[in-house]
Amino acid sequence: MPSRETSPLVRGPILPFLYLPLLVLVIAAFAGHWVSGAEDCWAHAAVGRWIWEHRQVPRHTLFLWTVSNSEPWVAHAWLSQLMTYGILQTGGTALVRVLTVLLAALPFILLWWCWSRESRVHSLTAVLFWIGILASAIRFSARPELVTALFLTLLLVFLMRWSARPTLPPSLVRGGILPAMGLLLLFTVWVNSHGMVLLGLALLGLTASCDLLQDRFSGRSRGLLLLTLPAGAALLLNPYGMGYWKALQGLQGETFRRINEWRPFWQSPPLQAVTLVEILVLTMVAFLVWALNPGRRWSHLGWLLVVGGSFCKARRFHGLLALVDLAVLAANSRRLDPNFLWQAFQRRHRPDKVSGDLPLSPRQRGLVHGGLVLWLLISAWGAIPPPPGDMAPVPEAPVRFILDHRIPGNFFNDFGNSSYLDWRCGGSPPLYIDVLNAYPDQIFLNWLEIVNVTPRGRDLLKQQHIGYILLTRPRSGEELKKLADYLDGNPEWVKVYVGREGRLWVRHTPEYEYLWASQEDSRSWNKVP
């Protein structure tokens, strides 16, 4: 029987193999949360259902009565939306959660593999990946952005492997035809899955340009530049052709400027301080490790600048920035090996006594690995989502009330849970607004006027002949309290439904008499089902 001192578990060869499974467990805890009514996947699945039923991609706004059918719209994520519908229809929200975990974990698994190919993995590797996961956690939701995260990581892995051997001439098949076919397939699927494919093309072109300059127009750098041609051509392989890029016009509009995730991280409400510190620490470490590497690639700095600049402009890029940071760290990981750092420290402070490996006994190594494994387990436990009752509920009951009573007239809804309303209603009844942002800025501005109960907002309630209003909970929160208080105190409106998931008002007119006139008082309707 091996002694305690020489046990493999104490020496530490087994515990490091637990790092990656435990990191995936942390991702699963964050990404496997319950699908609430505020998740974008409902609206994307509703568009996918429309595509499946009509056998075509939408070219005009769907599900809204405030926008005419002549309003053009480019569904740039139509393939992801079709897949979301298939997943939700096949396995319900359980399958959505499983695939969300898979899509969230795959980029980190790929980057971990790249690190292991470049250098040995160690406890510092796990710590940096843990920081990257925490920094990205709020982006782990069922939406097409996860497809972009995966495809961007695949592209970065390809570019790292290609640029790692600048003097090696590419062969015709392995270095030319196969990469060209792979990039063509990658960008073809990407352009039909999410509009952020443009970021991938920008990083590809940037890498090709940097490699040309750094490698002095070597054959391999020229080959990478030629590979950008099929990637750029693939962007035209979509149902909209050149019209696809009209989807980018809305990014400069008033609607996107008022959506939190499209704001700079310092604007109100600011990005969570913990998340900001995590992403800044990871970015600074990536830059320092890159700068300390004599064989550094210029393109890696370009990645940090481009995606970092995108993050400064819109906070939603912080998840992608974390992946780019980890990619740069993986490509330069030899400079982070603890033994290398120890030797560099000795050369600086004790040049006459430079030894080999970090002077840790087997017991000390075991304690380091064991402590980190325990910490990852605690992190996974702390990230487990709360039960559904503690989250934003799916507003099933109030929607069922609307559908069962066939409430006529124009429907005004809140923004927070409009995704689920798209899925359940599918345009019958049509909504006032939703999360797809497929409408002119004026629709969103009018919605703000109404929820803030401005004089113009009160006029819009009449001019637009709004017949009933649903405010869901708890996403509505304080932002819709003004409107709720106004409706409660206005004799022109009657509250006909109150539940944990929301409240519903109708106009006090003969058209809605069947909902309120037969009741002695509204309390008979104001009950939690």
pLDDT tens track for 304-317: 999 999 999 888 89
Say what the pLDDT of residue 211 is.
92
Q: pLDDT higher for 120 or 381?
A: 120
At 14, the pLDDT band (50, 70, 90 cuts) reads low
State how far the alpha carbon of 448 is from the alpha carbons of 66, 67, 254, 392, 457, in Å.
Answer: 14, 16, 12, 22, 8
Range in 266-270, 286-290, 291-295, 322-326 the model is least confident about = 266-270
Which of 80, 59, 84 minimizes the C-alpha distance to 191? Answer: 80
Say what the pLDDT of residue 424 is.
92
Say what the pLDDT of residue 167 is.
60
Say what the pLDDT of residue 7 is.
39
pLDDT digits (tens, 9 = 90+) for 148-207: 999 999 999 999 988 877 666 555 445 567 777 888 899 999 999 998 999 999 999 999
Q: Which residues pair with 506 in a beta bridge?
A: 468, 494
What ranges do the domains of the chain cover? 1-30+352-386, 104-244+264-336, 392-524
At 341, the pLDDT band (50, 70, 90 cuts) reads low
pLDDT digits (tens, 9 = 90+) for 108-146: 999 999 998 888 888 888 889 999 998 998 888 888 999
- Report yes or no: 43 and 423 within 8 Å, Cβ to Cβ: yes
**Nearby residues of 485 by Cβ (< 8 Å), 6 or more positions away:** none
Specify the pairing of strand 410-413 against strand 466-472.
Answer: parallel
**pTM for this predicted structure:** 0.87
Q: pLDDT higher for 9 or 73?
A: 73
At 346, the pLDDT band (50, 70, 90 cuts) reads low
Percent of the chain with pLDDT over 90: 40
- Report yes or no: 64 and 432 within 8 Å, Cβ to Cβ: yes
Mean pLDDT along residues 353-374: 65
Say what the pLDDT of residue 391 is.
53
AA identity, residue 294? P
Say what the pLDDT of residue 349 is.
56
At 498, the pLDDT band (50, 70, 90 cuts) reads confident
What average pLDDT does the chain have? 83
**Nearby residues of 188 by Cβ (< 8 Å), 6 or more positions away:** 234, 237
pLDDT digits (tens, 9 = 90+) for 457-479: 999 999 999 999 999 864 444 56
Which of 134, 114, 109, 119 minimizes the C-alpha distance to 29? Answer: 134
Range ranked top by mean pLDDT from 93-97, 259-263, 300-304, 370-374:
300-304
Say what the pLDDT of residue 319 is.
92
- 78-118 helix and 41-54 helix, angle to the nearest 10 degrees: 120
- The answer, yes or no, to whether residue 377 has pLDDT greater than 80, is no
pLDDT digits (tens, 9 = 90+) for 398-415: 999 999 999 999 999 988
- Can you tell me the distance from the alpha carbon of 493 to that of 474, in angstroms, rounded to the nearest whole number? 22
